[in-house]
Every structure is written in structure tokens, then in C-alpha cells.
Structure 1
């Protein structure tokens, strides 16, 4: 796992020396010219060596993880320390180069001694690192016998892996809680579809994919439903020829027809034999635990389709591989319901007592089972472990208290541990740090996509891909982790992107154990480590005197406080003792003052102060040259300091203030005025929220890199200049426009983007009668997926206009559309709409849904439609509906709902709130 640190060091070397020329430094620091000449040479040499070390670590990562050899372990620890040292030096170098190049001639002369000393120290540090890396290489040669064992080819074990005793998979007892899944699989194996069908069974490790498929496979084999059968477990490093040989041996009914020289045949020879074996036969083949689609494609072309209802079942942990099957034949396994989980646990833990939990252990059983998160493999293993323990509260409480540690090292949980370890160990190198980072957050913590993307970017985990921004690349990294079942999707946003995800408890526990071993990150339970020099990241969810007194981590890169865990004393301690901080996340913490010495955090990339009581920022904020994200949302800060204009790398600024927490007035939140000089921040991508003053609107015209923009307090007189500026923002994808009051009519006439990327549009305020005929909607409306309209006083039924100009809406919210009395959703309109919100429309008394209208609608919200006395006509025809939320309606509406028994009419809707 030291490779994660090496990868990070390589990224930092690349960014530090990739584009920065040293000529200006040489001219200025003439006495140090020779040393500076050597500095990039040392860095390049270190980079070459680290690339070789990384390749070695990647090739042998599984063996390194499992080795008990202390020489190898010590060598890996030293590699990690060297990589961390390189990262520190590169951060110092990049910061001081940027600082020097920004200074004028006079300032450089004033600070000559400082720069000479600083760069001399960096160069000396790199020379020391260079020496240490060479020593590490010498150790590899000196202890060749230990290192060579890591690189021995393991392909010779592939055959044994494929043909290991199948009794390991045989289901000898009933399966708990999987009846529907087994029934689905059995029905798909029938003859209803005579073509060759690929079936996928997928989900998180330990859900019982292999067990369920084995149950179905064995029962079909006993009933002789197919002519021939084969079960192949696909290793991570697979060999097509080895698998083809095994398939031939399994599927050939007459073993005498297997060629005697089969083991020395290769490629097309094997393929021809397999095709001959399968000719005219109905076969069932299981490819168990496929990691990537290439493994399937390497074999599937040889599985002939003879219209004999043959079936191929693949099990996998990734959604990419699962998609090889048609949608109708994809089975995603879910964790066991708690009741089923308890039944399975009791079967194992209380085998000697009629499988019944004793009264005095019931609460502890419940806690232990819940920690397994519905994973049958974990429940089964822990049940077996406890079956041989005394049935006393003391013994079982020990298991509960030490659950995480036992998962890490108890032999009885080895199968669970190894199954998950494989997923982690074979993660692509670009995902390892991102994955471990997610484990820093508390158990069951909802991980926000928006936050993770910015945090990973601030940490330097993300490297550019083509023309995509770092944030877009980070989005894809997140999707890779979700598709690989290492993160679980909790919630999508209104246009289908990930909004929140989480780590399964057991995945998190094991990821935390890796983090501790590598000093990648710790939580408050690990504060008393004796390796504080190496700790890079720390997350706390509670604060007390012990936490504050233990905060002495000089190389700390990240500090994250959740659940109001940080206070002013802790913040002061961090700034004084952790000068390398790159991420400081303090949202919701009871902090009201930011110390002036925060400017000493030269490496700070992310500062999160959301919902704190901070009222102002110190002038020293201008020294945070590396700051990329500044989150002041819902703080007491009422004015952006002019010093913010010096933060040239700022990419995301969140700064608006809540005026009325009850949101009872139109202008319940207030944006910030942009200070003079803000237009020089040409990397800014997110700006929430700007108050529309004349100066701010003028400055916006220069911020053409913006992707997300919120502007409030807009007057009609501002619209021409504002929308002309917005039209030049080629990358703008999310926009909020809020008028100065709910009577102010906004004129969108000059909003005509040259290139339309706008997908999310929120308009708060009155609209001109011809608004939807303006270019933004008439020419570009088909690009908009999310639309929210509030406080308009134009027209009657808005839906005909919206349907004509914005046919691809996925989310639509209309509030306070004051003139409409009747609303009709017509046939064939809004084919992609999944969420519809209608609220505070006092005149609306009738809503009509025509047959075949809004066929994709999943969520409908009807809020405070006080004049509406009847349930929307045609609502029962919306078969796709999954959520109906009706709130603030008249008594007549409620009576009609009960009288006509709408709850029964809408039996297909899982969630109804009226």
C-alpha cells in the first residue's frame, strides 16, 4: 500500500517541475545558481527511481500485503517515509516559486536571504532523499532472496485456483432471505428464451453471489436440465488458454474424446475443440467472480449460440461487468433485511441451543448483527466465531467492542477479510487514495459528491485527463468506486448524478485498518500513536481536552471535523503545529474567529467554514496562495475582504448569508459584493452567491471560466449587462437568478449563449410575458434538464410553453405561479421528467394528467395548492410513480382522498404521504 504514497509523490514532482522554468530563480539567486541547477536534476532522478519502485510495488502488492517477512515490511515503511518526504519538499518548492515570481524587483531584493535559505534547504532535502532512495535500491540487492520471492510468477497457480475443490461452494443448508433471487434465476434458466442468454449476478463482496448461483447451478445439475455444465472461477490475473482447457474438460460428456495433448494446445486449437464440444448441446456455464469485461469477451465468442436455450451466468462486484447481461437478466443482490440477518446469525451462533438467542444476549446480538450490514458472509463467519464462546454478556461484549480489530486480525474472519482485501488490493492506482480517504468519515456518514470532488482535488489525488477539468475527472473516479461496489449509492440529484454515497461498515473498518498501517489517515480513536511524524490525515467527530492535547502532528495534511467537533482552541493548536495542512474542514463547528496566523498555512488548498459563526476573515488570508476552495456559506461573514483577490488559484467560492432562517420573505438570503480585483481570479469555477450591484455585474463579465453561478438581488435594469456577460460563459452549467423582490420582472432578452452547456436553471422572480420565446429557451431550451421557477405572475397554464421549448426536462419545480387556475399535463410531453414539484399556487383548482403523459415520473410533490379540492385526474395512470407527497391541502381534498380510497388506487406507489 506504500504505492499510494509513491503515486502521490510522483504527482507532486510532475506538477512542480512540469511547467515552471528556473531561469528567473537562477538570475535572482546567483550565489545559489549551481545548487538550483542541480535541484531539477535531483528531482528528475528521484522521479525515475520512484517510478521503478511504484512498478515493483504494484506487481507484488498482494504478496507485500500478506508477507510476514520483517525485512520486506521495514523496506516498505521506509519507501513510504521517503515518498512522504518528497511530497513535503515539492509542496515547499511550488509554493516558494510562485511566491517569488509574483514579487516585484524591490520585494525580491528585500527577501533575498529568505529565498536563498529556503531553496538551499529544499535542494539539500532532495539530495538526502536521492541518497536514501539509492540505499533502498542497495537493500533490494543485498536481500535479493527476500525480494525475488515477491516477483515469482503466479500463473502456474491459476490451474489449481480454477479446479479447487468445488465442495467449498456447495450449499449444504438452506439459504436465508434469498428466495426471490433464486426463483428469478431459475426462471431465467428455463426455455422461454431459446437464444443463448447471459445472466449477471452482482453486488458488494460477501452478499452471497457465489452461494446463490451455486445453489441454482447444483439444483439444475441434479435435475439434468442442461446437457453439460461448467463452473469456472475467474482469477484476477486470468489466462484464456487455461480457462478454455478447463471448459473443455468440464463440458465434454465423453471424457475419452478429450485430446491427450490438450495441455499443450493453445489459442485457436482450443477454441475449435470447445466449439465442437458445444455443438447442438444445451449448456450451462458459470463464470464466477469476473473482475473486468475483457475476461468475459476473451471467452464469450467461443460460446456458440445454437438456439438451444443455453445459459451463461457471470458473478461480479462491478456494475460495468454486470452490464454485459441484458437488463432483463441482471440481478443485483442487496444486503439481508435485519430479520433475515438475525435468523442466519442465530443458526450459526446458537447451533447447540436450538438456534435461539438467549434473552440476556438479545441486545448484544442485535448490535453485532447490525455491524455486519446485512452481509451473509460476515454474519456467517462471526456466528461461527461466537458459537464456540461462552454465552455470557462479558464475552459477547468483548466481540462487540473489538469488532473492528477482530475483522483485522482474527483467523476466524479470514475469509471475510481476504474477500474484501482482494477488492482493495487490486484497485487501480489512481483510485487507492480516493478510496482510503472515504474511510476517514464517521460510520454511515453520507458522503457528498460535491464535497468529495473538491476534497480529492485539494489533496492532489486527481490528475488531468484530456480537456476535462480536475473536478470532472474526480466525478469519474467516484463513479468507478461506486461501479466497483466499494461505495454504495445513497441518493441521486435531480438530474441523475450522484448526490450522496456511503461506505459499508465492514468496508470502512478494513479500509481504516489499511489507513492506520500506512499512516494515510486516523480518527480520534488513534490519536496516541507513536508515529505522529508520519500521520497525514485526521478526522474527529468529538472534541475534548484529550483530543486537543494530542494534536501534535507536524506533517498533517488534512483535518476534518464532523458533528461540531472543533473549537477555537483546537483550531489555534492546529495552525501552530501542522504547517503542511492542505485541507481544513470545520463546517458546523462552534468557531467564531479565524486566527491571523492562518496565513502561515502555505499549503492550504481547502478551507471549509460552512455554518460556523465566523464573522470576518483576517487580512492574512491573502497569503494562502494555494487556496482552491473557500466555503463561507451560511456564516456570519457579510463582506468579502479585498485580500481575497490575491488568491489566484481559487476555483470554488461559497459565500452567502441567511437573512431570514424561516424563509418567509422573498429575499431570505443575501449574496456578497465582489471586491475590485476579483476579475483577476481567472480559475474561478463556482461562485455562490453574488449580490447584483453594478460593480459586481461588471466584474462577472471577465469570469468566463465559471461553471456554477448564483446571482441575487437582480433588478430589471441590470438584466441587459448581466445576461450579456453570462452569454460569454461557454462552460456555464448551473445558474440561479434571483430578483430583488417577487414583483421585479426579469428580462432574458440578451441571454443568448454562444455555446449552450447550461443544464440547471433556477429563476426566482417575475417573468415577461414573452420570456419563453427568447433565445435562451427558444434556441437552447432542449439542453435544460433542471428548471425551477418561483414567483412568476405571467400566463395561465405554464406547461404548454415549457413542453414546447424544454422537452428534455428531468426535474421541474413551479412555485407561486399566481395566474394559473387549471394545469394539464398532455400526452407525449416531458418524456424524461422524473420529478415534478408544484407548490404555493393559490389559484390552481384542477390538475389533469392525460393518458401516456409524464410516463417516466417517479416523484410528485403537491404542496399548498389550497384551492385544489380533488385528486389530480389521471394520477392512477402514472404507473412509474414511486413517491407522492401531498402537503398543505384543503380539507375537501383530504375528504375526497379518503372517500374514493386513493391509497388503494395507487397501490403501485411505494411511498405516499398525504
Structure 2
């Protein structure tokens, strides 16, 4: 299987293993070279897997080495495919007598020459693999990877301190969520209610949850807003919950089990409201859910996530309505954009409004994207030519400007958290023109033809459809 991170490494390892079987009659030294390459590449493959788990922490040196190994895998696969063709036996000669004898002699000479040529080429490939391995050690790639990454400011942090008057298009979703959360608080139904908010990165889930949280201050006896994130520190999260709900007597030595016990004990007879922002896995939700008791006091939990399956899991065992956060409509997108640029659309020059429409279309109603691009354009003169340059930069993906860093960081989280096979399938969408309607059936068949779909029990088509559904489920397509 070909992948965006590993290249053809999986395929190469499989083919090297096949070359070592009795099917192919290779010279002894050729088999030794192939065995060496197989062990080295297996080691590199394992390290590539480790790198894929910390994609956002890789420095340029590590990325360069990974690119080298990936390109090497493609070269090796090409060589192996050529070898296999040359090693295959030619059709048996049906001639008899002297003609048959001459044919067998000629075949033996060609076979011997090919074997030595193959041995020479294999030695060249082995040298390349060995050099990549030595460079890995020489540049201490492992040490570079293990170093703590530089501390960055989470761009979601400003969302927690946004003034309500600065927000556009949030009133409708906020009022709907408040209605769902306060419904039945003082009525006969006193059971715990969980309200998951699901939507892709950059739609404003954190901002919305925080506005709801602030508006409901005082309605509940205890409240807590905690950020979970992709790599959660559960001990810290549980300590933050205890601190927010007013718990006294927190001890440093307490482990995870003790912290869960104390949260449960404190909230057992309290009407509480807890927001768990940005959950990335069901297992993390299940652990945190253990700390939040079903106390029959109309308590509420809000969960934000970009993965639909997590939102559904949050509803179990009780039924709840998942809130799907939608992109901003065209009118609201315009209002948000012009507010950031110049206060209102009325004071904006008409000669660049055509470029604004193109830019907003590419933002797709994502508040984070609109704000990031508007912040960039606010530093530029309102000249059509300059705005056309920004529009072209968006069109061709040349988004290296400072104003895009926050947007890219958040959107890349969703991509980096994808399994390797889904990363490759998602990147394949770049093959289609902008605004092109893609047929699901054709897309899946193309994934299969490219070798992106790993078969399970021989049902490639079903597996391909599951890949497609998973991308939709993760709000990535």
C-alpha cells in the first residue's frame, strides 16, 4: 500500500520478502544484500511510524531525512519490479535436437549475465540504503525527534476572551444551545444531559462553547471549562476541574484514580455545568465521563469535537441531540469580513469588492479563515492589484503569510491526527479542480487503483467506502 508518509515502504518490504523465497534463484551474495536491505528498511519504517505520531513537532532536518527515505522506497520498488521481470523464466522452447541444445546454452549465458548485472545493481541499492542509515545516525535524527518542541501559544486561547460584541453570527447557535441546556433544569426531569458540539476545525466551536458558558454563569452551583486537546494531560485536566469547581485540599501526590474519586465526590450532590473543549478520542471521553457523576440534579456537560463518532459516543447511554455547527452563510461572512477590515461594508471601496467575493468563497464560511485573511488584508492598501495577489496566493496554496499561521495550525491538527491511509486518500483530492463535483463511487475506485486501499478479507470496495465515510465523519471532506 502506498501512503503519504511512508511512500512505497510497505510494498517494498513485501517484495523484498518475496525475493528471498525459493521462487527466485539468486546468487548467494545477492540474497545477503537483500536481507541487509530488508532489515535496514524495516528499522527505518518503524522510525517513520514514530515520526508520524508527532508530525507537528518535526524539524526541517527530520523532514528532509524522511523525504529521502520515501524517495528511496520508490526507487527500490522500481528496481525490484524490473528484477522480477528479468528473473521470470522465459517460455520453454519446444524445439528438439541441435536447435533445442543451442537454445538452452544461449538461455544459460543470458541468465548468468543477468544474474551478475542484478548483483551489481543490488549492491548499488544496498549502498544507498546504507548511506541513508548512516546519515540517520550521523545527524542524530532520533535525538532531534526526542527533544521537547518549542512552546507555542494555542491560537484557540483568544477565543476564551473574546468580547461578545466582537462576535458575528454567534447569537443563533448560542441561543439554541442555551435553550437545550436550560430546558428541564427546574422541571421534573432532573437527569444529567450531555450536549456535544461537532464541526470542522476553524468553525468556532471553542468560541461558541465559551459564550454559552459565560451566559449560564450563576445558573449552576459549580462550573468548569477545560481544554482537552489532541494530547491531553488527564491529571492536569482533572486538577483544573477541581480547581474551577472550588475544591479545597487538592494534594500534589494524588494519582488519576484519586482525582477522579474526588471530582465525583464533590459533584455528587451538586448541580454542575462542565465544558470539555476539543476532545479527540472516545477513550479520553470515557475516562473524563467517569469523573462526572449522574446525580439527578439537572447537571449539564458540553463537549466540543470535530469527530462525529465521538459526539455520538458522548450521548450514550442516554439519547441526546448532537449540535452540528454550520459554516457562516454568505451574508454573515461578509459582515464579519468587513467589520475586521474597516468597520462596515458601506465604507469599503467598490473597486475591490469583486476580489472580496472570491476570497470569501475560498474561506467557505469558516470564521477563523475569514478573520485570518481579513487581518492580513487590513495591513495592505485597498488596491485591487494587491488583493488579487492575495487571492492568487489562496488559490495556489501559497499561504505562508503570518496572518494564516493560526488558521493553518488549527486545521493541520485535524489532518495530522488522521491515520496514514486516510491522509493519503485526503491528499488525493488535490487531483480534482476547485469546485468540482466528485463522484464518491469514482473516487473510491481511483483510490483502489492507486493502491491506497488496504484490503480486508478481499473486500476492497467496502473498505474504500469506509475510508470515505471516515473522512466525512472527521469533518475533513
When the two structures are superposed, what TM-score results if normalisation uses the length of structure 2? 0.86
Q: For 1:474 and 1:18, how far apart are their aligned partners in 2?
A: 27
- How many pairs does the alignment contain? 459
Q: Which residue of 1 aligns with 2:261?
A: 272
Query: Aligned equivalents of 1:217 and 1:298: distance in 2?
Result: 22
Distance across 2 between alignment mates of 1:306 and 1:248: 17
Match of 2:175 among 178, 183, 200: 183
How much has 1:389 moved relative to structure 2?
A: 1.5
* DSSP 3-state at the match of 1:169: helix
Matched, 1:470 2:464: no
Alignment map for 1:248-397 (pairs within 5 Å):
248-252=242-246, 257-259=248-250, 261=251, 263-326=252-315, 328-351=320-343, 356-397=347-388
Structure with the larger strand share:
1
Deviation at 1:434, TM superposition (A): 1.4
Residue 152 of structure 1 aligns with which residue? 147
CA contact (8 A) 2:275 2:302 kept: yes
Within the candidate set 450, 467, 481, 2:471 is matched to 481
Q: Which residue of 2 aligns with 1:518?
A: none
Tell me the CA shift for residue 348 of structure 1.
0.8
Give, in angstroms, the shift of residue 354 of structure 1. Answer: 6.8
Larger radius of gyration: 1
1:408 is matched with: 399
Evaluate the alpha carbon distance shift between residue 134 and residue 15 of structure 1 in structure 2; reply closer, same or farther with a 3 A threshold. Answer: closer
> Cα gap change, 1:333/1:421 in structure 2, threshold over 3 Å: closer, same or farther?
same
Q: What are the equivalent positions in structure 2 for 1:453-468 lying under 5 Å apart?
A: 453-465=444-456, 467-468=457-458
CA–CA separation in structure 2 for the residues paired with 1:426 and 1:121? 44
Partner-residue secondary structure (3-state), 1:25 = coil
SS in 2 for 1:315: strand
Note the residue ranges of structure 2 that are not aligned, 5 or more in a row.
95-102
Relative CO higher for 1 or 2, CA cutoff 8 Å, sep ≥ 6? 2
* CA offset digits 1:490-539 (Å, max 9, x no partner): xxxxxxxxxxxxxxxxxxxxxxxxxxxxxxxxxxxxxxxxxxxxxxxxxx
Q: Distance in 1 between matches of 2:156 and 2:471?
A: 32
Contact preservation (8 Å) 2:194, 2:320: no
Going from structure 1 to structure 2, the CA distance change for 1:49 and 1:90 (only over 3 Å counts) comes to farther
Residues 1:75 and 2:65 are matched in the alignment: yes
Q: Distance in 2 between matches of 1:6 and 1:370?
A: 31
Following TM superposition, by how much is the alpha carbon of 1:61 offset from its aligned partner in structure 2, in angstroms? 2.0
Q: Is the 8 A contact 1:206 1:377 kept in 2?
A: yes
C-alpha change, 1:114 and 1:316, in structure 2 (3 Å) is farther
Task: Assess, with a 3 A threshold, how the Cα gap between structure 1 residues 384 and 24 changes in structure 2: closer, same or farther.
Answer: closer
Offset at 1:166?
Answer: 5.4
Q: Counterpart in 1 of 2:219? A: 225
- Structure 1 residues 33 and 139 mapped into 2: Cα distance closer, same or farther (>3 Å)? closer
* Aligned-residue offset at 1:416: 0.7
Tell me the distance in 1 between the aligned counterparts of 2:213 and 2:151: 25
Tell me, what secondary structure is at the counterpart of 2:209? helix
Secondary structure of the structure 2 residue equivalent to 1:414: helix
* CA shift in 2, pair 1:454/1:134, >3 Å: same
Match of 2:230 in 1: 236
Measured at CA, do residues 429 and 165 of structure 1 come closer, stay the same or move farther in structure 2, by a change above 3 Å? closer
Residue of structure 1 in register with 2:41 after alignment: 47
Secondary structure (helix, strand or coil) at the match of 2:73 reads helix
* Alpha-carbon spacing, 1:251–1:212, altered in 2? closer, same or farther (3 Å): same
- State the partner residue of 2:91: 104
Shift of 1:379: 0.7
User: What's the CA shift for 1:414?
Assistant: 0.6
* RMSD of equivalent CA atoms: 3.1
**Counterpart for residue 129 of structure 2:** 133
What does residue 428 of structure 1 align with?
A: 419
- Distance in 1 (CA, whole Å) between partners of 2:400 and 2:420 is 25
Distance 2:41 2:239 in 1: 43
SS at match of 1:409: coil
Cα deviation per residue 1:728-756 (whole Å; 9 max; x = unaligned)? xxxxxxxxxxxxxxxxxxxxxxxxxxxxx
Q: Summarize the Cα distance change of 1:217–1:118 in structure 2 as closer, same or farther, 3 Å threshold.
A: farther
Instruction: Assess if the C-alpha contact under 8 Å between 1:348 and 1:355 holds in 2.
Output: no
The equivalences for 1:793-872 within 5 A come to none
In the alignment, is the contact (CA less than 8 A) between 1:346 and 1:356 conserved in 2? no
Q: Give the CA deviation at 1:264.
A: 2.4
State whether residues 453 and 471 of structure 1, in contact with CA within 8 Å, keep that contact through their aligned partners in structure 2.
yes
Contact 2:169–2:332 (Cα < 8 Å) also in 1: yes
Name the CA shift for 1:15/1:350 in 2 (closer, same or farther; >3 Å).
same
Native 8 Å contact 1:201 1:333 kept in 2: yes
Gap change, CA 1:150 and 1:39, over 3 Å in 2:
closer
Kept after mapping to 2: 8 A contact 1:8/1:87:
no
Normalised by the length of structure 1, the TM-score is 0.47
Superposition deviation, residue 42 in structure 1: 4.0
Task: Specify the SS of the correspondent of 2:295.
Answer: coil
User: Matches of 1:124 and 1:53 in 2, distance apart?
Assistant: 29
Deviations 1:744-777 (A, max 9, x none): xxxxxxxxxxxxxxxxxxxxxxxxxxxxxxxxxx
Query: Contact between 2:263 and 2:291, CA under 8 Å: does it hold in 1?
Result: yes
> 1:355, CA displacement in angstroms?
6.1
Q: Deviations over 1:94-153 (max 9, x none)?
A: 5556xx26x532299677677666666555444333333332333333333x65242135
Structure 2 CA distance for aligned equivalents of residues 212 and 421 of structure 1 = 21
Q: Which residue of 1 aligns with 2:24?
A: 25
Asked if residue 12 in structure 1 is aligned to residue 1 in structure 2, the reply is no
Matched residues in 2 for 1:478 and 1:202: separation? 18
Mapped to 2, the partners of 1:226 and 1:75 lie a distance apart of 54
Alpha-carbon distance change, 24 to 130 in structure 1, aligned in 2, over 3 angstroms: closer
Question: In 2 relative to 1, CA 279–403 (structure 1 residues): closer, same or farther, beyond 3 Å?
Answer: same
SS in 2 for 1:195: coil
Secondary structure at the aligned position of 1:45 is classed as helix
Within the candidate set 197, 200, 203, 1:204 is matched to: 200
1:349–1:385 CA contact under 8 A, matched in 2: no
Residues 570-585 of structure 1: matches in 2 within 5 Å? Answer: none
Cross-structure match for 1:63: 57
Question: Do 2:206 and 2:304's aligned partners in 1 also have CA atoms closer than 8 Å?
Answer: yes
CA distance in structure 1 between the aligned counterparts of 2:442 and 2:107, rounded to whole angstroms: 38
